[in-house]
Amino acid sequence: MKSIEIVCDNLSKIYSGKVIFKNLSLKLTTGNSISILGKNGSGKSTLIKILSGIISANKGSITVSEDNIPVPANLCYSRIGLISPYLNLYDELTASENLRFFCGLRNNSNDGMEEKIEFYLNRVKLFDKRNETVKNYSSGMKQKLKLIFAVINQPRILYMDEPSTNLDTEGIDIVYETAEKHKKNGILIVATNDKEDIKLCESSLNIEDYK
């Protein structure tokens, strides 16, 4: 498997004149895991959004490389996974339709897609509810579906923003098991203040040090 690396160089984000963070640099490679800490509203989620490419930074750069070769932005989709409270799937579609849609967008071919969807739905015990529209799901079930959305593509970089929110103990165990497995061959970045979530990572970064 190719080694993966993410390098952030002097990232700064300013919202309406307020500095969220400035000059934040970071370098992570295969097997690294880091927790991003900070009070509520300190900018943890903003950093995750910038790292995952949802929004852009005001200053600085992010480079994702495989075997030291930079990966173009349009090829990063299949390498990134995100679990977060501000990401929702389509309520009016079923779990299977949602997963088929997003897998289709991220991959060139549909080979093995149905098997993967079935495997992950079984793993989080949603297989029996696969043909129900997501609007009928509880918040915990939606969170489990979002976990599948994040990992079904076997991403090399997994971002988790408050990953245990809304989950029952069984769901939390699945998240932790997924994170532990992922760490071996990829990069794990967790934004949290939960003590158990922090234990998933080998190092930490306090965003308030970059104000």
Residues that bind another protein (CB under 8 A): 52-56, 74, 77, 80, 82, 84, 86-93, 97, 101-102, 104-106, 108, 133, 149
Among 31, 27, 45, CA closest to 191 = 45
- Residue found by looking up tokens 């991003």 in the block: 36
170 Cβ contact partners less than 8 Å away, ≥ 6 residues apart? 125
**Count H helices, E strands: the chain?**
6, 9
Minimum CB distance to another protein, residue 169 (Å): 26
Report the nearest approach of another protein to the CB of residue 97 (Å): 7
Nearer CB in complex with another protein: 52/164: 52
- Minimum distance from CB of 63 to another protein (Å)? 17
Closest CB to another protein among residues 150, 172: 150
CB 202 to another protein: min, Å? 25
Q: How far is the CB of 151 from another protein (least distance, A)?
A: 13
CB of 43 to another protein, least distance (A): 16
151: helix, strand or coil: helix
Judged by beta carbon, residue 89 or residue 205, the one nearer another protein is 89
Q: Identify which of residues 102 and 127 has a Cβ nearer to another protein in the complex.
A: 102
Element (H, E) at 9: strand 4-15
Q: CB-wise, 39 or 59, nearer to another protein?
A: 59
Side by side, the strands of the sheet bearing 59-66 are 18-29, 4-15, 59-66, 69-70
Buried residues in 59-76 as b, exposed as e (16+ CB within 10 A): ebebebebeeeebeeeeb
Residue with tokens 């998240």: 175
- 109 or 203: CB nearest another protein: 109
